[in-house]
């Protein structure tokens, strides 16, 4: 089926999210929609899927103009969407999830589950998906859950499939498998719109690339374009994709973690007997697929987890069992993984957020009262230093872009006298320009002789920053390897294997 | 808003993704701010609606009240029987009943131009302020709890305990003038504070929800005070009624404008309390932490703020402020001895006051005076027009209803949705674009 978007315009008040966007997807083509966060990709797809009504322009399928009042219409017209966050019910089986929303019923309204099972098997066999219709979705790995989403769309005879940032939650291997599936679907004549901001994936799988910036189509590129070309098209200027960093000059071990285990609220061991150390002036990256204990590990370091065993020392002083306040006071800077949830108070101003974890005494508080004059001088200075783009320090942080929000967090944490810097997913969901800035600041912090822990699920980031890499899998550290370790090996380690011939720096995974 | 609906963080724990959270552009724009949870968003929405919404809610509630007055008025009903013969009669009666009611409300609460001399004419206004005094105090308490993300429904219990403490000091201890009043007020505030603090402590230590705990503590306080009013602790000697002895004159809040008016020193105290709460919330370190916890407890915890302690402190102060309302009742309004009905429903009205005042100290002050006017004027309306005072309660309830439903207000008055990006003021688009370009 041929999909055409003609002059789609979508405005939210003064903001034009989509400005006369034209897009044509031929049958059996993988069309990449490349753009930064906030460029308008998802808005465009939501228009296509009937979630938004376009202010101008039309959607044309096989030369017939369509009017979608909601996702139901879009689905009936043959458009399917695989969302970034899966729309599955975890306690239902695969078949139940697939039939959800267009249940077939038999006698007296009983669900015709066997028909749904048959449908799942059919599609699964056709593409070699290897999905058991009776498995509970909750028990399936993320990659397989995504296939369930694809089956769901295909079971409704989708001829155009939209993948919205599908690789964010996948391991590199799962990503490769997804690419293969996309190619297969293409062979079968399905048109695919693939939304992403990851350049490598685009070049690997795309037939055509449309780049969107600030709600406008800024150009088409061929898959043979280089990363740098694509990036500059996306950002509108030349971007440094790799951070310049001199070789680390590691000093003595500063942060020593030994036999650390964390049990979560459900009684599960989420971090299992982890030991490592970080030397002054080096960056240890903790790699791994989302949900393998990295979050809990950093929280345990910060004193945010309740049930922790093992020992954590910083410069010889124990951090175990200290309150968050005390850990912060010992000179630990922390960039939490989810800045909107844990790092910032959205309705507070930039200035207020800059003193969020320093509300206990001088210089921001004297005699129980806030030192507002000092705070505003400080905030002016820091927003300049960290290049926070806003209409002023009184702007609510929730109104800033992701990149600027992250700069506020960085400014706050890096302006305290630090002895350790822990950054979890420091560039998640922020634009390329800000990523560059954040990476530079992290390396600069290292060069000041501060030990740095960076947790990231993005291999690109890990490889760009790390002096050493610890790979986590199911709560344990698979191995600690040098920063120069090739991606494919890291990818295997992220799946829990140590490939033959790889010498972890620390075979036991233990420090000491 | 350079952060368009586009970027959702890649956290699996966040359920917000396109179809779930984006039935319309409004939702999508707010989801860029990614609030902690749906319940909290709704809570913040209700607590922090805009000034305009509050004012329009009052207007709308008064209009709805007018319709109710017209519908229930006997003369209107009689005239409507022959509506098609002479519709003018019906409209005349409607006008008469509604305008009569609201004029009476005005005369009873602000300024009565029918009275002979100025002091008498202005007396309704002082009545309004007298009624407003405990409402503002309790409203400040409830509003403070709102700002820390808690719903203090225990106003009744806190007021009763405070009234019992202040009253007991008032008629048992016989201290010199001045000191007696101070001790009685402190006793009440501390009593209310402890009663609120219990709820805070239970929430902090056991995770019990403060709504349940405060409601239950209302019953505990009510039956405790009722019981004590039948024992020599609080009961007037030689009496069989569950009523306390009168307060010593040394512990009574002195009249501000002489014996002719009921307005007492409490009004000055409540102004001071408003200033205090304003300072606490906006200028103090404790208030900073309060607000952070109220908006985003997760971020507060990560920033090293002891969230649980904040809940306890906030409920202590909130209970103390509500307790101040109990003190005003027992040392200012009813000084001849109190019964277990001394709270007069103020603990619940305070919730409305806090909502209407958007949990801001001065907003609560104004809302409290408005509600004081309703109370003072309601009696006048009943007396002169025979309109049941319940209509005032209905108007008050409608105000809450409308405040809780901002979209309704917006639809009625065709206001723009604030969660959508603002309408372009002439110079605005330029900086937005520049920022966005620069940020990318």
Q: Give how far Cα B379 sits from Cα of B71, B309, B353, B373, B385, Å.
A: 20, 44, 19, 10, 10
Chain A residue numbers touching B436 (CB-CB < 8 A): 38, 214, 401
Q: Are B440 and A164 an interchain contact pair (Cβ–Cβ within 8 Å)?
A: no
Q: Are residues A178 and A317 in the same domain?
A: no
Please provide the size of chain A in residues.
Answer: 512
Which residues 406-425 in chain B show a CB within 8 A of chain A? Answer: 420-424
Task: Tell me, yes or no, whether B1 lies in a domain.
Answer: no
Task: Return the structure tokens found at A173.
Answer: 């291997």
Q: Are residues A214 and A284 in the same domain?
A: no
8 A C-beta contact, residue A48 and residue A54: no
Q: Give how far Cα B220 sits from Cα of A32, B168, B194, B224, Å.
A: 65, 18, 14, 6
Pairing of strands A452-456, A283-287: parallel
Q: Is residue A329 over pLDDT 50? A: yes
Give the CA dihedral A285, A288, A290, A295, nearest 10 degrees: -50
* A452 alpha-carbon distance from chain centroid: 20
Q: Which residue of A has its CA nearest to B44?
A: A347
Q: Are residues B242 and B317 in the same domain?
A: yes
Of A355-359, A462-466, B44-48, least confident by mean pLDDT is B44-48
Chain A residue numbers touching B19 (CB-CB < 8 A): 49, 51, 71, 81, 83, 87
Of the partner residues B12, B20, B422, the one whose CB lies closest to the CB of residue A13: B422
Q: Are residues B253 and B165 in the same domain?
A: yes
Q: How far is B276 from chain A (nearest CA, A)?
A: 12
Q: Which of A82, A341, A406, A456 to mutate to test the interface with B (most CBs of B within 10 A)?
A: A341
Q: Give how far Cα B382 sits from Cα of B108, B120, B128, B371, B376, Å.
A: 10, 20, 16, 16, 11
Q: Are residues B158 and B205 in the same domain?
A: yes
Question: A96: exposed, middle or buried (C-beta count within 10 Å: 0-12, 13-18, 19+)?
Answer: buried
Identify the CA nearest to B247 among candidates B338, B339, B134, B159: B338
Domain tally for chain A?
A: 2
Task: Return the structure tokens found at A454.
Answer: 């960076």
Whole-number Å distance between alpha carbons of B97 and B75 = 8
Task: Tell me, yes or no, whether B425 lies in a domain.
Answer: no
User: What integer pLDDT is reported at residue A454 of this predicted model?
Assistant: 95
10 Å Cβ neighbour count for A326? 13
Chain B residue numbers touching A389 (CB-CB < 8 A): 435, 438-439
Q: Are B424 and A14 an interchain contact pair (Cβ–Cβ within 8 Å)?
A: yes
φ and ψ of A479, to 5 deg: 180, 160
Q: Are residues A14 and A74 in the same domain?
A: yes
Question: Taking residues A163-174, what's their average pLDDT?
Answer: 79
10 Å Cβ neighbour count for B304? 23
Q: Are residues A137 and A263 in the same domain?
A: no
Q: Are residues B346 and B398 in the same domain?
A: no
Pairing of strands A3-12, A56-61: antiparallel
Q: Are residues B211 and B105 in the same domain?
A: no
| Count of CB pairs separated by less than 8 Å, A with B | 230
Q: Are B301 and A355 an interchain contact pair (Cβ–Cβ within 8 Å)?
A: no
Q: Which residues pair with A82 in a beta bridge?
A: A163
Q: Does B207 touch chain A (CB under 8 A)?
A: no
User: What integer pLDDT is reported at residue B311 of this predicted model?
Assistant: 96
In angstroms and rounded to an integer, the radius of gyration of the C-alpha atoms of chain A is 25
Contacts of B258 (CB under 8 A, 6+ apart): none
**DSSP label of A109:** G
Whole-number Å distance between alpha carbons of B168 and B166 = 6
Task: Tell me, yes or no, whether B118 lies in a domain.
Answer: no
Q: Are residues A308 and A216 in the same domain?
A: no
Task: Tell me, yes or no, whether B8 lies in a domain.
Answer: no
Q: Are residues A66 and A148 in the same domain?
A: yes
Q: Are B17 and A389 an interchain contact pair (Cβ–Cβ within 8 Å)?
A: no
Residue listed under structure tokens 């996309």: A182
Q: Are residues B202 and B103 in the same domain?
A: no
Q: Does A337 touch chain B (CB under 8 A)?
A: yes
8 A C-beta contact, residue B19 and residue B28: no
pLDDT in tens, A42-97: 788 888 888 888 888 889 988 888 888 888 888 888 898 888 778 889 899 999 88
Q: Are A12 and B285 an interchain contact pair (Cβ–Cβ within 8 Å)?
A: no
Q: Are B306 and A325 an interchain contact pair (Cβ–Cβ within 8 Å)?
A: yes
CATH number of the domain where residue A202 is located? 3.40.50.300
- The secondary element (H helix, E strand) that includes residue A471 is strand A468-473
Q: Are residues B88 and B199 in the same domain?
A: no
Q: Is residue A140 over pLDDT 60? A: yes
Whole-number Å distance between alpha carbons of B234 and B171 = 9
Residue range(s) defining the domain that contains residue B184:
126-372
CATH number of the domain where residue B365 is located? 1.10.3470
Whole-number Å distance between alpha carbons of A113 and A115 = 5
Q: Are B299 and A352 an interchain contact pair (Cβ–Cβ within 8 Å)?
A: no
Please provide the size of chain B in residues.
Answer: 440
Q: Are B435 and A389 an interchain contact pair (Cβ–Cβ within 8 Å)?
A: yes
Q: Are residues B103 and B229 in the same domain?
A: no
Q: Which residues pair with A15 in a beta bridge?
A: A12
8 A C-beta contact, residue B156 and residue B221: yes
Task: Tell me, yes or no, whether B379 lies in a domain.
Answer: no
Domain boundary among A235, A265, A281: A235
Task: Tell me, yes or no, whether A500 lies in a domain.
Answer: no
Three-state DSSP state, B81:
helix
Q: Which residues pair with A34 in a beta bridge?
A: A196, A211
Chain A residue numbers touching B15 (CB-CB < 8 A): 85
10 Å Cβ neighbour count for A383? 22
Whole-number Å distance between alpha carbons of B419 and B407 = 11
Q: Which residue of A has its CA nearest to B2?
A: A401
Where b means 16+ CB within 10 Å and e means fewer, A352-365 reads bbbbbbbbeeeebb
Which residues 278-307 in chain B show a CB within 8 A of chain A? Answer: 279, 283-286, 288-289, 291-292, 295-296, 298-306
Of the partner residues A36, A45, A348, the one whose CB lies closest to the CB of residue B292: A348
Whole-number Å distance between alpha carbons of A314 and A158 = 56
Q: Are residues B103 and B165 in the same domain?
A: no
Chain B residue numbers touching A329 (CB-CB < 8 A): 304
Which residues 23-52 in chain B show a CB within 8 A of chain A? Answer: 23-25, 28-29, 32-36, 44
Q: Are B18 and A323 an interchain contact pair (Cβ–Cβ within 8 Å)?
A: no
Q: Are residues A293 and A431 in the same domain?
A: yes
- More confident of the two residues A226 and A350: A350
Q: Are residues B216 and B288 in the same domain?
A: yes
φ and ψ of A161, to 5 deg: -110, 130
Three-state DSSP state, B50:
coil
Please state the ipTM of this predicted complex: 0.76
**DSSP label of A495:** T
Task: Return the structure tokens found at A122.
Answer: 């059919």
Q: Are residues A318 and A197 in the same domain?
A: no
Q: Is residue A381 over pLDDT 90? A: yes
Q: pLDDT digit of tens for each residue in chain B (440 aa)?
A: 344 443 433 333 333 333 333 333 333 333 333 334 666 666 665 555 577 788 888 888 889 888 988 888 888 888 888 888 888 888 888 898 888 888 888 888 888 888 888 888 888 999 999 999 999 999 999 999 999 999 999 999 999 999 999 999 999 998 999 999 999 999 999 999 999 999 999 999 999 999 999 999 999 999 999 999 999 989 988 888 899 999 999 999 999 888 888 899 999 999 999 999 999 999 999 999 999 999 999 999 999 999 999 999 999 999 999 999 999 999 998 889 899 999 989 999 999 999 889 899 999 999 999 999 998 888 888 888 888 888 888 888 888 888 777 777 777 777 766 554 443 333 333 333 344 434 43
Identify the CA nearest to B134 among candidates B345, B395, B335, B340: B345
Whole-number Å distance between alpha carbons of A490 and A504 = 11
Q: Are B15 and A85 an interchain contact pair (Cβ–Cβ within 8 Å)?
A: yes
Domain tally for chain B?
A: 2
Task: Tell me, yes or no, whether A389 lies in a domain.
Answer: no
Q: How far is A399 from chain B (nearest CA, A)?
A: 5
Which parts of B290-399 are beta strand (E)? none
Which residues 136-165 in chain A show a CB within 8 A of chain B? Answer: 164-165
- Top-ranked range on mean pLDDT: pick from A238-252, A424-438, B84-98, B183-197: B183-197
Which residues 452-481 in chain A show a CB within 8 A of chain B? Answer: 457
Q: Which of B43, B276, B293, B303 to mutate to test the interface with A (most CBs of A within 10 A)?
A: B303
Task: Tell me, yes or no, whether A211 lies in a domain.
Answer: yes
Identify the CA nearest to A398 among candidates B398, B41, B25, B278: B41
Q: How far is A400 from chain B (nearest CA, A)?
A: 6
Q: How far is A150 from chain B (nearest CA, A)?
A: 16
pLDDT band for A282, please (50, 70, 90 cuts): very high
Question: Taking residues A442-458, what's their average pLDDT?
Answer: 93
φ and ψ of B155, to 5 deg: -55, -40
Task: Tell me, yes or no, whether B35 lies in a domain.
Answer: no
Q: Are residues B213 and B256 in the same domain?
A: yes
Task: Return the structure tokens found at B52.
Answer: 């305009």
Question: Taking residues A421-443, what's their average pLDDT?
Answer: 88
User: What integer pLDDT is reported at residue B133 of this predicted model?
Assistant: 96
Chain A residue numbers touching B423 (CB-CB < 8 A): 13-14
Of the partner residues B10, B284, B306, the one whose CB lies closest to the CB of residue A368: B284
Q: Are A340 and B423 an interchain contact pair (Cβ–Cβ within 8 Å)?
A: no
Q: Are residues B238 and B318 in the same domain?
A: yes
Whole-number Å distance between alpha carbons of A260 and A275 = 6
Residue range(s) defining the domain that contains residue A35:
3-235
């Amino acid at each position: 089926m041929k999909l055409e978007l003609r002059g789609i315009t979508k405005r939210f008040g003064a903001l034009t999210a989509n400005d006369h966007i034209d897009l044509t997807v031929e049958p059996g083509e993988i069309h990449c929609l490349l753009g930064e966060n906030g460029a308008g990709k998802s808005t465009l797809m939501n228009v296509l899927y009937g979630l938004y009504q376009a202010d101008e322009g039309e959607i044309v399928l096989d030369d017939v103009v369509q009017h979608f009042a909601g996702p139901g219409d879009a689905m009936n017209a043959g458009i399917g969407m695989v969302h970034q966050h899966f729309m599955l019910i975890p306690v239902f089986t695969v078949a139940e999830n697939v039939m959800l929303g267009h249940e077939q019923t038999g006698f007296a309204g009983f669900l015709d589950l066997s028909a749904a099972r048959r449908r799942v098997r059919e599609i699964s066999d056709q593409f070699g998906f290897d999905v058991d219709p009776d498995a509970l979705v909750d028990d399936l790995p993320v990659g397989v859950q995504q296939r369930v989403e694809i089956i769901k769309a295909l079971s409704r005879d989708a001829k155009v499939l939209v993948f919205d940032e599908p690789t964010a939650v996948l391991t590199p291997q799962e990503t490769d498998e997804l690419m293969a599936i996309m190619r297969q679907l293409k062979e079968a004549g399905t048109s695919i719109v693939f939304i992403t901001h990851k350049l490598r994936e685009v070049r690997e799988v795309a037939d055509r690339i449309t780049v969107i910036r600030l709600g406008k189509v800024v150009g088409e590129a061929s898959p043979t374009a280089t990363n740098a070309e694509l990036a500059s098209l996306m950002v509108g200027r030349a971007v440094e994709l790799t951070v310049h960093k001199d070789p680390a000059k590691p000093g003595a071990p500063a942060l020593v973690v030994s036999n650390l285990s964390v049990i979560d609220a459900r009684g599960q061991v989420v971090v299992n007997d982890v030991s490592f150390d970080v030397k002054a002036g080096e960056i240890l990256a903790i790699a791994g697929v989302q949900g393998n204990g990295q979050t809990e590990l950093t929280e345990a370091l910060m004193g945010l987890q309740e049930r922790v065993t093992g020992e954590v020392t910083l410069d010889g002083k124990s951090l175990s069992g200290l309150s968050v306040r005390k850990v912060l006071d010992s000179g630990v800077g922390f960039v939490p993984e989810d800045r909107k949830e844990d790092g910032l108070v959205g309705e507070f101003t930039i200035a207020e957020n800059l003193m969020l974890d320093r509300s206990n005494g001088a210089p921001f508080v004297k005699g129980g009262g806030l030192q507002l004059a000092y705070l505003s001088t400080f905030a002016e200075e820091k927003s300049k230093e960290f290049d926070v783009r806003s209409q002023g320090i009184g702007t609510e942080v929730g109104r800033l872009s992701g990149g600027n929000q992250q700069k506020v967090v960085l400014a706050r944490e890096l302006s305290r006298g630090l002895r350790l810097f822990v950054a979890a997913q420091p560039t998640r969901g922020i634009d390329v320009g800000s990523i560059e800035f954040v990476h530079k600041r992290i390396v600069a912090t290292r060069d000041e002789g501060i030990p740095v822990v960076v947790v990231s699920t993005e291999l690109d980031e890990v490889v760009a920053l790390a002096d050493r890499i610890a790979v986590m899998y199911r709560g344990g550290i698979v191995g600690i390897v040098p920063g120069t370790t090739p991606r494919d090996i890291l990818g295997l380690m992220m799946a829990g294997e140590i490939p033959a011939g790889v010498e972890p720096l620390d075979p036991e995974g233990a420090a000491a | 808003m350079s952060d368009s609906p586009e970027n959702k963080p890649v956290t699996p724990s966040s359920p917000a993704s396109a179809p779930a959270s984006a039935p319309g552009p409004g939702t999508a724009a707010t989801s860029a701010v990614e609030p902690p949870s749906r319940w909290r968003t709704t809570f913040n929405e209700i607590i922090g609606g805009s000034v305009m919404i509050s004012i329009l809610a009052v207007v709308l509630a008064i209009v709805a009240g007018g319709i109710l007055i017209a519908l229930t008025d006997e003369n209107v009903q009689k005239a409507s029987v022959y509506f098609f013969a002479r519709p003018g009669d019906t409209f005349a009666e409607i006008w008469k009943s509604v305008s009569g009611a609201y004029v009476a409300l005005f005369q009873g609460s602000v300024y009565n131009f029918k009275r002979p001399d100025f002091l008498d004419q202005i007396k309704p206004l002082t009545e309004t302020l007298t009624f407003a005094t405990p409402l503002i105090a309790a409203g400040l308490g409830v509003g403070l709890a709102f700002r820390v993300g808690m719903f203090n429904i225990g106003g009744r219990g806190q007021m009763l305990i405070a009234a019992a403490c202040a009253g007991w000091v008032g008629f048992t201890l016989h201290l010199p003038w001045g000191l007696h009043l101070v001790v009685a007020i402190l006793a009440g505030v501390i009593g209310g504070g402890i009663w609120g603090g219990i709820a805070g402590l239970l929430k902090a230590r056991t995770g019990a929800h403060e709504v349940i705990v405060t409601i239950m503590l209302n019953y505990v306080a009510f039956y405790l005070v009722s019981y004590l009013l039948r024992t020599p602790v609080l009961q007037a000697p030689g009496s069989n009624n569950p009523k306390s002895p009168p307060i010593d004159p040394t512990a009574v809040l002195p009249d501000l404008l002489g014996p002719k008016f009921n307005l007492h020193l409490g009004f000055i105290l409540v102004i001071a309390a408003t200033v205090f709460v304003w300072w606490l919330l906006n200028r103090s370190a404790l208030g900073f932490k309060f607000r952070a916890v109220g908006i985003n407890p997760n971020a507060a915890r990560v920033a090293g703020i002891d969230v649980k302690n904040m809940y306890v402190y906030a409920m202590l102060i909130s209970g103390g402020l509500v307790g101040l309302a109990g003190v005003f009742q027992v040392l200012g309004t009813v000084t001849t001895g109190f019964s277990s009905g001394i709270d007069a429903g103020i603990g619940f009205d305070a919730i409305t006051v806090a909502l209407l005042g958007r949990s801001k100290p001065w907003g609560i002050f104004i809302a409290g005076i408005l509600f004081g006017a309703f109370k003072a004027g309601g009696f006048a309306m009943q007396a002169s027009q025979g309109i049941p005072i319940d209509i005032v309660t209905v108007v008050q309830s409608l105000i809450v209803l409308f405040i809780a439903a901002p979209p309704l207000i917006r639809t009625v008055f065709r206001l723009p949705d604030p969660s959508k990006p603002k309408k372009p003021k002439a110079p605005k688009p330029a900086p937005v674009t520049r920022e966005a370009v620069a940020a990318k």
